[in-house]
Amino acid sequence: PSRIFSGIKPTGHLTLGNYLGALRRWAREDQYAAESLFCVVDLHALTVEHDPARVRRLSRQAAGLLLAAGLDPEVCTVFVQSHVDEHARLSYLLECVASDGEMRRMIQYKEKSARAQRGGQGVRLSLLTYPVLMAADILAYRATEVPVGEDQAQHVELTRDLAVRFNQRYGHVFAVPKATLPAVAARVMDLQDPATKMGKSHDATAGIVYLLDEPEAVARKVRRAVTDSEPGVSYDREARPGVANLLEILATCTGKEPEVLAASYEGIGALKADTAEAVVELLRPVRERHAEISADPSYVDGVLRAGAARARELARPTVDAAYAAIGLLPPA
């Protein structure tokens, strides 16, 4: 890859799903593989009912967690989306190559707009245009790879379509990116409801492991995971989603294949106990580093300031080129 971009939305406390689907890979592999940028996408947090003070707090916390997870500001760029105007500027241009029907077909839009309506809240227009802003995040940097969990794959596909369409109509401005998904745990499921994704903005928290949970809470949530009443342990995502979820989580912690792990367990109790311990150990260093990092907010602020400066430098020429290509009169 020549450039890597990914982002995380500060709509709730980060979860084990975010970590295994995204953050951990960013820190272990992606940041070293190419020039890379990792963004706290705060504008995206405004697409649903929100509390301003909470979004601000969660944005800083997410930035601290990216660093705690091992992103090295000497190696990659860590920044906040709203600090770089180019995202919003480009988003508008992309709205002019995207169609209404295309947006309404997005799975997350269907799910989240239904949820907002059920909750008696209006559907914000920004929820509909959200994937266009996400495309702008990626295309502004001419990113070629986008490391995400499975739930974002459709948005990255849309980003590709918009890039190709813009380039064909107005001249070659954008690189056409592709999503890179983790081999295992691309979709970590809720421990209480293995038919649903583990998501940071869910209300019921018993099935969600948060990166900053106390070790005892992490262990308890994993040990109480809902599985099934079949005897023994086998890896079958369709038939045994709860067990498969635990096997995948343990697989990412140990580097072993879920099938191999399944064969090595007689009963679910032992699988739960080992998975609980593995997750506690996986998250321990992240939580400890986060405590150190957040003790000095000026450190995080400094990283974000430098990150925004670098990001602006990279995005500006591409977004200016898109403005010119689409027919806007350059300022004299």
CA 77/CA 140 separation, integer angstroms: 14
Q: For CA atoms 112, 117, 119, 125, give the dihedral sign.
A: positive
| The residue type at 162 | L
Q: How far is the CB of 271 from ligand TYM (least distance, A)?
A: 19
Q: Is 18 in the site for ligand TYM (CB under 6 A)?
A: yes
Whether 221 is catalytic is no
Q: Is 95 in the site for ligand TYM (CB under 6 A)?
A: no
Q: How far is the CB of 42 from ligand TYM (least distance, A)?
A: 10
Whether 9 is catalytic is no
Give the count of residues interacting with ligand TYM (CB under 6 A): 27
Nearby residues of 33 by Cβ (< 8 Å), 6 or more positions away: 1, 4, 145
CA 79/CA 67 separation, integer angstroms: 11
Task: Identify which of residues 60 and 270 has a Cβ nearer to ligand TYM in the complex.
Answer: 60
DSSP 3-state of 60: helix
Backbone angles phi, psi at 128, to 5 degrees: -70, -40
Q: Is 112 in the site for ligand TYM (CB under 6 A)?
A: no
Whether 200 is catalytic is yes
Backbone angles phi, psi at 170, to 5 degrees: -120, 0
Q: Is 27 in the site for ligand TYM (CB under 6 A)?
A: no
Binding part of the chain for ligand TYM, among 182-190, 208-216, 251-259, 283-291 by CB under 6 A, reads 182-190
Among the options 9, 110, 112, 256, which is catalytic? 112
Task: Identify which of residues 9 and 142 has a Cβ nearer to ligand TYM in the complex.
Answer: 9
CA 74/CA 271 separation, integer angstroms: 39
- Report residue 17 CA to chain centroid gap: 9
Q: Which of residues 29, 35, 95, 151 is near ligand TYM by CB under 6 A? A: 151
Which residues make up the interface to ligand TYM (CB under 6 A)?
Answer: 5-9, 17-18, 20-22, 41, 44, 134, 137-138, 146, 148-149, 151-152, 155, 186-188, 197-199
